[in-house]
Structure 1
Amino acid sequence: MRQPVVEYTAADDKYFNYCWWPYNPIGSTEGKLRPSSLLFHAFHLAQIDQRAYELVERIRSNIGMFRTVWGTKQVAGEMQWEFYFYDYQRRDRDVSITCVLDLIRPLISCDLAPDERIPYFMFSMDIDEQLLTGRRNLDDIQIYIGNPGSSVSSGIAYEQRGDQLSLKNLYCFFDAKRQLRQVAEKIQCSAHLGSESVAIDQILYPQLRTCHTICVANKKDCDTIYFSGVDVSQLSFFLEKFDYPEATREWVTQHCSQLDHLLFDVGFDYHADQQGLHVVKSGYYGVF
């Protein structure tokens, strides 16, 4: 097996969280690793098709460096990925669904026809081995729009499958320092938290609360909590807590001093019943 791809920082690198909000590095950036290195390490461990790397390069060469958010997801022990594309200009956007689908079609089969009249600020697509090798088409994407009038920062996700749109998720964002009480209230006001025996600390982890922003999402079959702006030691805690591959945990530990300038984003999907809390998916995020 070849060695995983690593990318080193440059003086003009830019830094963004999973909402594509910019942040300042929290340490020296000289001789450090870009967050893309963590993505490429996950590709390497999964022995994913070479077209995954080609897809990343094709996207970067067309829309620019650091314009794409990636998520590495673990579902039932299997690794999956999601790529997110932001343009907060909405209808005046430069990075549109049409633009991205056109540029990736040489690698990925997709017949979707997006409606560019929708005032979305972001869209995403799921990436896996079947898609990259042509065993399935890209037949659905997620489209995200704002939620004016909400008392907290929030957004709504729709799924486009074929020419049909369906409501998928509702996201609410909270300042981790000032709004922890509201976060806890939002978590507890849930149709999926069907057990009074689940302690809030099983979801709102004390080890991750010192992040910048916490998001709680309501989904069809579960809820999700995201912690945005965690450092590498908190990322290590997350990877250990959610039983990521030992090779992933070891790689982060070994490269801790080359990742300590970065802030990461992590999250997990969950629901509860009388048997307790069940985590159905988890993920960590960066940009390329």
Structure 2
Amino acid sequence: MTRRERMTDRDLFFNYCLWAYEPTAPWQDKWRSANLLFHSFEQAGADDRMFDLVERLRETVGPSMTVWGVKWAGGKIGWEYYFYDYRRRERERSAAKVLQGMAPLVRSTVRLNENHHYFMFSLDIDDALVAGDRSVDEIHMYIGNPGSDVSSGICYAVTPTGARLENFYFFFDARRHREDILNKIACSAQIDQGAVELGEIYRPELRDCRTICLANKKRTDCIYFSGITVDQLIFFLNWLDYPRPLRSLVERNRSRLDHLLYDVGFDYRMEGDRLRIEKSGYYGIF
């Protein structure tokens, strides 16, 4: 199924944290970022019910309020959806509401405790989920990290048997905190500064952005560049050798996508004396 959507005067401009930004160019008659998600469905041969799920979520939490991530790892495309509500325990976009809105297309065997102070949660999405071959059996729940000098969050994986710690996230202003960013990257068990230059992680082609997030995960570290231009997105997709059709769509339609800002990230660790990128992704909203 081929599907493309154009901007309207009702569209909102949010980054992958659902933080608002101003468009960088006139937006009239141009594309929504969701077209990049839809195109990834097409290239992966995804079940058409993936499109149905998008509409269910728009009806449940509102248009432009779901963040999508296209993931590239091990030569395969994957997806993750993120749902924010910074009102925490006074939230309206709760996990319970989202799971109810996804039913009966999507089944779930796990619930979040709505007394927890989470401000965001995410779900891994695939064909098996929308086809009914599996249920939601894990929710990634994000809560704040009081006491940090910068905006920070902690992620837990919640399953029917309980919660386990997953990741820590730290957000830095890309211009004001450059020294802190370098220090945070360097203070890691995942890299060897004797073998790797920090510029291989703190990419000069991407660092001119709005916000940089650094994450510590179980087996990798991760860096996210938020608020990059379409030209920087094209660099990112080519540098990490995304499937040619995904790259070509952005390159051919640059003028339809230049009003938006984008968010990208990659997980990394050392493999011998080389930096290995385990997974990467790019993000938008629908």
Instruction: Flag whether TM exceeds 0.5 (same fold).
Output: yes
TM-score between the two structures when normalised by the length of structure 1: 0.97
Q: Distance in 1 between matches of 2:74 and 2:112?
A: 31
1:98 aligns with 2:96: yes
Look up the SS of the partner of 2:205 in the other structure. Answer: helix
What displacement does 1:78 show?
0.3
Q: Which residue of the other structure, out of 211, 222, 225, is the alignment partner of 2:223?
A: 225
Which among 58, 61, 81 is matched to residue 60 of structure 1? 58
Structure 1 residue 51: Cα displacement: 1.0
For 1:216 and 1:285, locate their aligned partners in 2 and report how far apart those are by CA, in whole Å.
16
Matched, 1:113 2:111: yes
Structure 2 equivalent of residue 149 of structure 1 = 147
Which residue identity is paired with 1:155? G
Match of 1:42 in 2: 40
CA contact (8 A) 1:5 1:40 kept: yes
Report the counterpart of residue 183 of structure 1 in structure 2. Answer: 181
User: What does residue 172 of structure 1 align with?
Assistant: 170
Q: Pick from 21, 26, 34: which aligns with 1:28?
A: 26
Partner of 2:255: 257
Identity %: 48
Mapped to 2, the partners of 1:110 and 1:68 lie a distance apart of 19
SS of equivalent to 2:267: strand
**Alpha-carbon distance, 1:244 to partner:** 0.4
The amino acid that maps onto 1:166 is R
What amino acid does structure 2 have at the position aligned with 1:65?
A: P
TM-score (norm 2): 0.98
- Give the distance between the partners of 2:44 and 2:38, measured in 1 at CA: 10
Find the residue that maps to 1:207 and give its secondary structure.
coil
Q: Is residue 2:16 matched to residue 1:5?
A: no
Answer whether contact 1:155 1:171 (CA < 8 A) is retained: yes
Question: Is the 2:144–2:154 Cα contact (8 Å) retained in structure 1?
Answer: yes
Could you tell me which amino acid in structure 2 is paired with residue 267 of structure 1?
Answer: G
**Cα separation, 1, equivalents of 2:194 and 2:270:** 9
Residues 33-85 of structure 1: CA distance to partner in whole angstroms, max 9, x if unpaired? 00111110111111100110000000101211001000000010100000000
| Whole-angstrom distance in 2 between the partners of 1:207 and 1:69 | 24
State the alpha-carbon separation in 1 of the partners of residues 68 and 283 from structure 2. Answer: 6
User: Structure 1: which 4+ aligned runs deviate by more than 4 Å?
Assistant: none
What secondary structure is seen at the aligned counterpart in 1 of 2:275? strand
In structure 1, runs of 5+ residues without a counterpart are none
Tell me which amino acid in the other structure corresponds to 1:127: I
Contact (CA 8 Å) 1:195, 1:276: kept in 2 or not? Answer: no
Unaligned runs of 5+ in 2: none
Maintained 8 Å contact 2:186/2:193:
no
Residue identity in the other structure for 2:276? H
Structure 1 CA distance for aligned equivalents of residues 158 and 118 of structure 2:
12
Return the alpha-carbon distance in structure 2 between the equivalents of residues 252 and 160 of structure 1: 35
1:128 pairs with 2:134: no
CA shift digits 1:234-287 (9 cap, x unpaired): 000000011101111111011100000000000000101433101110000000
- 3-state SS of paired residue (1:224): strand
AA matched with 1:118: H
Quick check: 1:194–1:273 contact (8 Å CA) kept in 2? no
DSSP-derived class of the 2:168 partner? strand
Structure 1 residues 98 and 32, CA, compared in 2 at 3 Å: closer, same or farther?
A: same
Confirm or deny: 8 A CA contact 2:118 2:143 kept in the other structure.
yes
Is contact 1:195–1:273 with CA below 8 Å preserved after alignment? no
SS class of match (1:208): coil
Over the aligned positions, Cα root-mean-square deviation in angstroms equals: 1.0
Alignment match, 1:267:
265
Deviation (angstroms), 1:195: 5.4
Given that residues 231 and 263 in structure 1 are in contact (C-alpha distance below 8 angstroms), is that contact kept between their aligned partners in structure 2? yes
Amino acid aligned to 1:39: L
Q: Aligned ranges for residues 196-211 of structure 1 at < 5 Å?
A: 196-211=194-209
Structure 2 residue aligned with 1:77: 75
Q: What is the DSSP-based 3-state SS (H/G/I as helix, E as strand, rest coil) of the residue aligned with 1:281?
A: strand
The Cα of 1:135 is off from its aligned counterpart by 2.2
Bigger mean CA deviation after superposition, 274-283 or 211-220: 274-283
| Distance 1:66-1:45 versus aligned 2 partners, 3 A rule | same
